[in-house]
Amino acid sequence: MADTIVAPATPPGISALAMVRLSGPRAVEMVAELSGLSRKEFEDRHARLVELRDQEGELIDQAMVTVYLGPRSYTGEDLVEITLHGNPLLVELVVEECIARGARLAEPGEFTRRALLRGKLSPDQVEALGQVITARTRHGLRLARRNLAGKLGEKLSQIRQELVETLAAVEVVFDYPGEAADVSYQEGETLADEPELLGERIERLIGLIQPLVEDYPRLSALSREPRVVIWGAPNAGKSSLFNALLGRERALVSPAPGTTRDYLEAPLELAGLRLSVVDTAGIREQAGEEVEEKGIRLAEKQLGEADLILAILERGEPASLPPIPVEEGQAVIYVATKVDLMEKVPQGEGSSPEAPLATSSLTGLGIEELRQRIARHFTSEVGEDRLLVSRRQYESLRRALAALEQAREGLRRGVEPDLVALDLRAALEEVSGLLELPGASEAVIAEMLRGFCVGK
């Protein structure tokens, strides 16, 4: 990290202001050269109005320059932020002048990478920063800010500490069985009561990790635009329901089956939550034409990308619903359509085909209730105790959970303590890998920084 890097810190395009960032040992020196001032004239954490000139002395722009001397900076090294007028050409000229003076164009996420390697940010905070930048909903942003404040790191540290204590106690039992009664988990607890006490500790660890794993599919959808896919047979009322949910006519509706050949997608705002609602082609075993078959394949592809599926039962009849290949993490709300044509209206909440949520796109019955039900699915129980994990963190925690469940099963079968210790150590390694940078491979760091721009 001996070189100095430079990059635009704002998106390309015309705007009121734009920013260029530099970080490295010559960052302050370079901006001093650009402005014709000495390095000493730039105070730490003070903004200064300067004129930036190229190597021929021609004025580039008036700019505000703020210097952050290391280690009290974002990257832990000297950092400079240059605020210009928001013309992309001005940004390009400043970046070119910095490169001409020896700077190197930063790679995506390299500023944050330097902060990580210098210990200014922990691995969990780096991933939280990515979540803050990419959040597409208010709820997702709230969850990401909570992680950036260190809440997830605190939870992971707690899990790791309890794993360390439990593993240490188990290994004492294996290596020094005569001293087991003298080793305690907590005040008043000894291994003389093992394996019952050990089983309780493993159950507690499972209880700490399980919510993080189980919440991932629903909470991760909040960091982007959740996808709600409408699924059902031809002429079951899918397109009419699609229009009713949107409150406008977006899809063509016809009494003839198979009207929808392609899928239609439209945004929907519900209780501060922005969703993508997708209307798909009707599903049936014997498609009429080649174009209908292609529409069915597209519908199946959309279903695989869904966070929530609206399964359509025409007039509440379960037999009208085609099979739904639900994948892990997907949820289903069962919706009865055309209930205005039924003598007895279903009274369910949509939890099963036998208890569908009753709707009528013609009269509006149940449409608002369905909207609320969709919003509740994504936003309910997003309290202070709920934490969003990244895909990488989810996979590690899922493996840790599997190891703990295997340890629990081993205890029930009466296996030797050393075999239980192996499972506990596997869980500890997974959790520790989320908190510690030493030993992390380039691939792991690249995954953490995936999606970052060059100026971040």
Tokens of 146: 């909570």
Residue among 309, 371, 316, 311 nearest 338 (CA):
316
Say what the pLDDT of residue 190 is. 43
Single-letter residue type at 16: A
Domains annotated for the chain, with CATH where assigned, are 5-117 (3.30.1360.120), 151-221+387-436 (1.20.120.430), 227-379 (3.40.50.300)
pTM of the entire structure? 0.73
The whole-number mean pLDDT for each consecutive block of 10 residues of the chain, a chain of 456 residues, reads: 89 94 96 94 95 95 96 95 96 96 93 90 88 83 88 94 87 52 47 69 95 89 87 89 87 60 85 87 73 81 91 88 85 93 87 92 93 87 76 94 94 84 93 74 64 68
Say what the pLDDT of residue 213 is. 94
Residue among 55, 152, 59, 70 nearest 117 (CA):
70
The CB density around residue 371, as the number of other CB atoms within 10 Å, is 18
CA atoms within 13 A on the CB side of 329: 19
Strand partners, 184: 190
Q: Is the dihedral of CA 425, 430, 436, 438 positive or negative?
A: positive
Say what the pLDDT of residue 172 is. 61
Report the C-alpha gap between 316 and 309 in whole angstroms.
16
* Helix, strand, coil tally for the chain in percent (to 5): 45, 15, 40
Say what the pLDDT of residue 347 is. 86
CB 207 within 8 A of CB 285: no
CB 261 within 8 A of CB 291: yes
